Structure 1
Amino acid sequence: MWDLPEGVFLHDPPREEMGVLELGVEISGGKSIATSQFHTRALKIIRPHYLDDSGQVYYIVVNPGGGFVGGDAYRMKLDVADNASMLLTDQSAAKVYRTPDDFVVQNIEMSVGDGAVLEYVPDQLILYRDADFRQQIKADVHPNGSLFISDIITPGWSPDGGHFLYKQARIRTEVTMEGEVVLVDNLRINPLESEFGQDHDFIMGGKTHVATAICFDPGLTPERLDEVKGIVAKRAADDDDLIAAVTTCDRPGFVLRALGSRTEELMALVQAVANYVRGEMRGQGPIHLRQY
């Protein structure tokens, strides 16, 4: 576990890890291949696919258990070596069920080498009644590397039809380059706290779903960042249910945050931005997540 604020992601005594995935990718013969691979218990990966002629390898993470429950701990370590490229997703939505008096924790460590590409675009995270999910991502990216990661938080169905009955969603992402922290994004939603209920329309704009996308790429010039903002602004203008904005970073990169009422509209926005980066920077076609 990483050295984080007490009570946020750490657990005393240490938890037994319910799922571990470690994956290292390198370039060989013009294609990216796994050169180190380990998975156990509730995390597995499906055999690799190649969706275009770029040599990028595509992996799907599977949780055979079908969902997360209180006390679960998961860990992933992803290493993309110089000039290699990997697209990663999961087989279906991640479901977090009731976690009374406890929480689910997932820690993800990423390393992106010189000229390497890592795209991590999972399905939505569904939080059911009384769920508490905490995730920490630490990504170390070479200044010439490209990182694109996203998440969508969705409130799960409840018997009485109510929304926002989960305890907490906390997603903390830290990106470093050459030992320097270039981004800390800390999203925390506590729907059952009285302040949230009183200020829901202010905090969430009356929406129920939230999406985040974080991207760093040396090719993101100010002009291209303006184009990203234009893509987001146009989609928000065309959809009255969508609220979205882009914040640029000190290093070439951006953070997209969006609010909506449906997973589909948020995923379409995230993929539209990802597709722009793929096409503009590397000449790749749109993401096509074959999840089988």
Structure 2
Amino acid sequence: MTSSTLGQRTRTGLLHLTFEQQRGKTVLTRDLQKAPLMIIRPFELPCGTLMVFVVNPTGGVLGGDHSEIVAEVGAGARVLILTQSATRLQPSPSGAVATQDIRFTVASGGRLEYYPERTIPFAGSAFHQTLRADFQDGAELGLTETLASGRVQMGERLAFAEYRSRVEIWRGGERLYLDHLRLKPTESTRAPGIWSDWDYAASGVWVGAGELADWPAVPSQLACGHTAGGAVWLRAAAARGPTLDRELTAARESLRAQLFGARPLQVRR
């Protein structure tokens, strides 16, 4: 096998999870894993939510790789899905695009929250992601997405080839939320109002039955609003990653408390 053939090898990772409520507790009842995707065993948090970490033990996502994540949450189940570390999008010398498809379904009375660590696109990387969540009336959902402008400390700011992300939230036959982001860095990407001096950006959406009485505290780089279908959206940006993480966590917990009536997440890593 030649070195060029080796460079063209790609991987397909699969992760299919089913969660149900049994005897008042959320349990993982189905677990299909195919490397390089896997999970660490579930942990029950003090608030009663079942938490799982998605793990990719390799050096990152390579050009041409494909990942598929499917999670089904039954009535009454409470699920939190996190990633163990940042998603590192490796360079793609051939130009092959890495892809990831995520599908969530949540039954009435169930709750699914997905808060992955930030995505870091290396110079020359190309990545397309789609996420679709379908849930019934009475279900609750929370999602966030955080993106870096690149390996900033390595001088790779806005040096990736392309980044795409499409997020759709559906309830019954009604689409409540659509966010389609496509970034293809050029000189115009550095214009004020696009990236400017910010190196970290985040978005999020939450759907719950609770009333939103108090919007999260809004620093200059964070904004929230309602979609026509009643979903609550969030946008944020910051010059430093830890600053964005701190503000995003505070906003998330405020929204969770009001929309879900949920206790704070106490995650132990």
Fold shared, TM-score > 0.5 on shorter chain: yes
**In 2, distance between residues paired with 1:140 and 1:158?**
36
Q: 2:205 aligns with which of 205, 214, 219?
A: 214
Q: Determine if contact 1:129/1:158 at 8 Å carries over to the other structure.
A: no
Give, in angstroms, the shift of residue 17 of structure 1. 5.2
How far apart, in 2, do the equivalents of 1:88 and 1:282 lie?
17
Q: How does 1:1-292 map to 2 (within 5 A)?
A: 18-52=12-46, 54-100=47-93, 101-157=95-151, 161-191=155-185, 193-197=186-190, 199=191, 201-219=192-210, 221=211, 224=212, 227-228=214-215, 231-233=216-218, 236-237=219-220, 243-291=221-269
Amino acid at match of 2:58: G
Q: CA deviation at 1:159?
A: 8.1
Partners of 1:136 and 1:282 in 2: CA distance = 25
Equivalent pair of 1:232/1:246 in contact (CA under 8 Å): no
Per-residue deviation, residues 43-73 of structure 1 (Å, max 9, x unmatched): 0001111111x43111011001130010000
Distance 1:46 1:66 in 2: 18
TM-score, scaled to structure 2: 0.90
Any conservation in 1 of the 2:208–2:260 contact (CA below 8 Å)? no
Do the aligned partners of 2:11 and 2:36 also contact (CA within 8 Å) in 1? no
How many Å separate the matches in 2 of 1:160 and 1:250? 42
Which segments of 5 or more consecutive residues in structure 2 lack a partner in the other structure?
A: 1-8
Higher relative helix content? 1
- Secondary structure class of the residue paired with 2:21: strand
Question: Cα distance, 1:16 vs. partner?
Answer: 6.6
Shift in Å at residue 266 of structure 1? 1.7
Once the two structures are superposed, residues 185-242 of structure 1 have per-residue CA deviations (whole angstroms, 9 ceiling, x without a partner) of 1112211x34324x2x2312431211011111122x3xx1x512xx241xx15xxxxx
Residue 260 to residue 158, structure 1, CA distance change in 2 (3 Å): closer
Distance in 1, Cα, partners of 2:260 & 2:96 = 43
| Unpaired stretches in structure 1, ≥5 consecutive residues | 1-14, 238-242
The SS at the match of 1:245 is strand
Specify whether residues 158 and 247 from structure 1 end up closer, same or farther in structure 2 by C-alpha distance, changes over 3 A only.
closer
Q: Percent same amino acid among aligned pairs?
A: 27
Count matched residues: 260
Q: Which moved more, 1:257-266 or 1:70-79?
A: 257-266
Query: Deviation of residue 288 (structure 1)?
Result: 2.8
CA shift, 1:178, in A, is 0.8
After superposition, the C-alpha distances for 1:70-108 in whole angstroms (9 at most, x for unaligned) are 000000001111111101101111100101311110000
Q: Alpha carbon RMSD of aligned pairs, Å?
A: 1.9
| Matching residue's letter, 1:45 | I
Give the deviation of 1:153 after TM superposition.
0.4
Task: Give 3-state SS (helix, strand or coil) of 2:256's partner.
Answer: helix
